[in-house]
Chain A
Amino acid sequence: MNPAIRPRSLFIALSLLLALALWGSLALGPVSLPLGDTLQAALRLLGLTLGGSELNQAQLIVGQIRMPRTLLGLAVGAVLALCGVAMQGLFRNPLADPGLIGVSSGAALGAAIAIVGGAAFGGIPEAIAPYLLSLCAFVGGLGVTALVYRLGRRDGQTSVVTMLLAGIALNALAFACIGLFTYLADDATLRTLTFWNLGSLNGASYARLWPLLLVTFAVAFWLPRRARALNALLLGESEARHLGFEVERLKRELVFCTALGVGAAVAAAGMIGFIGLVVPHLVRLLVGPDHRILLPASMLAGASLLLLADLAARLVLAPAELPIGIVTALIGAPFFLYLLMRGR
């Protein structure tokens, strides 16, 4: 698995891909907009006015619908890919993924408890709902991450098999609880729950966006600072310690960071699987496992792939819309099988 291309070429290619995905996400849909109008409408959102032509419709569509949705996709894709890298580094296994080991479903369970519990108490006030949901999803994700990590460890070694099996059990448990809530829920709550389980960028609003953007910035700022420590951790925990890194603290930080990132992503867009698994893998195939390159490159690739998957979800059955979680699973699950068959 020697690097196939130079990091610089990869970053250029990924930036172009991201630009393409951004353009598609803003311009394409039930009403397609010309590139010029899209750009001008986007710039007007930032308070810059170029040219005087009337752009009311484009401005409305981009400003109210597509821009929040695009930003949501950008943040969700970036943070899921980053958390995927963090998980794979923490477990020192390229098959670890927030979805496979139950972090996403734990977060979804947290969100479901908030939704159904909130409805039982007469609804959560609009103003705090996004923050409360994020918090509950974060706590759910943190609980499951910590539990999987504890279960997967014996005598200072992390057993991948135990970890994956524990993930299966915790996934099943979380889904059973979510199923229970679904059974108990009324019609309105049911719709929200279904949305959470399948994942969707539909109905993005700036209010739901802020907590996620905040978390994404924090994760994107913090994780690359640990790139060298993550590289050393891949050698093994004691090896990393012998190289002078504070491994226990690093592991706690990684668990916290993943729970925070996945929790915020799930709270904002529901469960979107396989981005955290597939993206770091693809990037590793291209430039090797060095986290100093892997982390930023995965962030760019994750954001681009999620926007493209969302575009597919919007366009395939237009004017109806597929939940994006279905799209990523349809692409991601066969890819996961392919990775398994490659005989690691």
Chain B
Amino acid sequence: MLQAEALSIRRGGRTVLEGVDLALQPGRVLGVLGPNGAGKSTLLGALSGELAPAQGHVRLHGQPLDEWSGSERARCLAVLPQSSTLSFGFRVEDVVAMGRLPHATGLLRDREIVEAALQAADAAHLHGRSYLALSGGERQRVHLARVLAQLWPGAEGQTLLLDEPTSMLDPLHQHSILQATRAFASQGAAVLVILHDLNLAARYCDRLLLLQDGRPQALGPPDEVLRPEPLKQVFGLDVLIQRHPEQGHPLIVVR
């Protein structure tokens, strides 16, 4: 289980994240919302061990993150960055197979897992293609398959951090990818996902964290967090909250 206590991060002499207390829950999806520059990616960087905290701790299973060995940590914590800079022509399945590098499960098992992860990310039809020949959205799905493969099949004690996994996807895939993420979480893994679309967050997250200027403004179930006052305060948006006619989750309409 991944846990942050009184976490603060300083970058370039400025405090960009302050006072974050957070515990990811097994089997649950936590959404992180906030305007540009609110510290969402910084939070993800701190939770994944990329950024050293100025104050506070990040613990994985009770042990500080920097005390973990690289490969042990990689077997229970996977991270999908916002964008990737891969500029070599690996085949799609080779990219996904890199998710298996921290493991020693053997070639055959790895191949099965790669196929299953590609299926989950709705990218199975890309098998055999060169990564460089893919569109931005297709690449994003391949990388999602890679981090899913890293933790496959997903179990309690594992953590998945996703930085805007839907930013380049068409509407259908925005939904199918978040559905896949939920299905993955239902195997027991804890998931944190940074999102920009309030309605996607309302539909697919169990809890939401609202960040503003590096400080947490609200943390709770979508019904509690997605109200007109906090959204006005954080995003400066005037919104109406309705109910989804079939699903019942909050539906945010800008006035």
Contacts and interface: CB of A to CB of B under 8 A. Distances in A.
B84 A235 contact: yes
B88 A94 contact: yes
Contacts of A235: 84, 86, 95, 98
B69 to A, nearest CB: 8
A93 B219 CA distance: 42
Contact of B70 (A92, A239, A244, A290): A244
B242 interface: no
B84 A241 contact: no
Interface string A154-186: 000100000000000000000000000000000
Interface string A92-111: 11100000000000000000
20 contacts: A1-B89, A1-B130, A92-B86, A231-B98, A231-B101, A234-B90, A235-B84, A235-B86, A236-B81, A238-B50, A241-B70, A242-B48, A244-B69, A244-B73, A244-B101, A244-B102, A245-B70, A246-B70, A288-B94, A290-B94
Contact of B99 (A1, A94, A243): A243
B74 A234 contact: no
Contact of B86 (A228, A236, A238, A246): A236
A71 interface: no
B150 interface: yes
A92 B87 contact: yes
Interchain residue pairs A-B with the least CB separation, the first 10: A244-B74, A1-B89, A244-B71, A244-B70, A289-B88, A244-B102, A242-B79, A243-B101, A234-B88, A236-B85
A232 interface: yes
Interface string A287-305: 0111000000000000000
A93 B88 CA distance: 8
B75 interface: yes
B89 A2 contact: yes
> Of A3, A234, A244, A290, which is in contact with the most chain B CB atoms at under 10 Å from its CB?
A244
Contacts of B91: 2-3, 288
A6 interface: no
A344 interface: yes
Contacts of A238: 48, 50, 79, 81
Interface residues of B, number: 32
B101 A228 contact: yes
> Of B85, B88, B95, B101, which is in contact with the most chain A CB atoms at under 10 Å from its CB?
B88
A138 to B, nearest CB: 29
Interface string A238-265: 1101111110000000000000000000
A244 B50 contact: no
B88 A239 contact: no
A93 B86 CA distance: 9
Nearest to B100: A243
B78 interface: yes
A288 B75 contact: no
B79 to A, nearest CB: 4
A157 B99 CA distance: 22
A288 B89 contact: yes
Contacts of A243: 74, 98-99, 101-102, 150
B132 interface: yes
Contacts of B48: 238, 242
A238 B101 CA distance: 15
A95 B66 CA distance: 35
Contacts of B94: 288, 290
Contacts of B130: 1-2
Nearest to A285: B89
B66 to A, nearest CB: 12
A242 B78 contact: yes
B53 to A, nearest CB: 17
Nearest to B83: A236
